Amino acid sequence: MISEKMVKALNDQINAELYSAYLYLAMSADFKSKNLEGFANWMRVQTKEEMAHAMKFFDFIVERLGKVELEAIKKPQAGWPSPLAMFEAAYKHEQFITDKINKLVELAQSEKDHAMESFLKWFVDEQVEEEASADKIVQQLKLVKDSAGSLLMIDHQLAKREFNSPAK
Ligand SMILES: [Fe+2]
Ligand SMILES: [Fe+2]
């Protein structure tokens, strides 16, 4: 069994992960409208990752005999001024998610819920990767500035990203 407080916090995290999926899908749409297919693909793959994150929390709540309760998902921004602005927003968002994961870990520790703490370890590691991959693209975009040729080269690179379902 799992405490009510924990179930509430985990349900909130499902919502945050689904919002992440929604945010990246909005970014994918914005890139599509700008004909940056590779960037759009990267964001679409990220959307799938976020859905998978949400499902991991969903399954964990069910497994621990808690009740999943879904809340409304906030409307994401529809457009951004530039690819750099978009990836800066993505990076900032991942920092926000990392903070939420850390708070969940602290809650698990305060309630001495070792199963929960062990489950969250995967997310602690994942957030390191999430921040690093968004930041890498921020740095690349800063480097190329307004060079259309270089932007298309990055676009070509990001077109190769494929979705790998995270280990259970
Ligand atoms: Fe996530
Ligand atoms: Fe990831």
| pTM reported for the whole predicted model | 0.95
Q: Which ligand is nearest to the CA of 56?
A: 1
pLDDT at 165: 87
**Residue at 138: amino acid letter:** V
Q: Is the dihedral of CA 123, 125, 129, 135 positive or negative?
A: positive
> How remote is the CA of residue 129 from the centroid of ligand 2, in Å?
6
Task: State both tokens at 12.
Answer: 């909130």
Q: Are 122 and 49 in contact (CB under 8 A)?
A: no
Cα–Cα nearest to 140, from 18, 6, 42: 42
CB atoms within 10 A of CB 38: 19
pLDDT tens per residue, the chain (168 residues)?
789 999 999 999 999 999 999 999 999 999 999 999 999 999 999 999 999 999 999 999 999 999 999 999 999 999 999 999 999 999 999 999 999 999 999 999 999 999 999 999 999 999 999 999 999 999 999 999 889 999 999 999 999 999 998 866
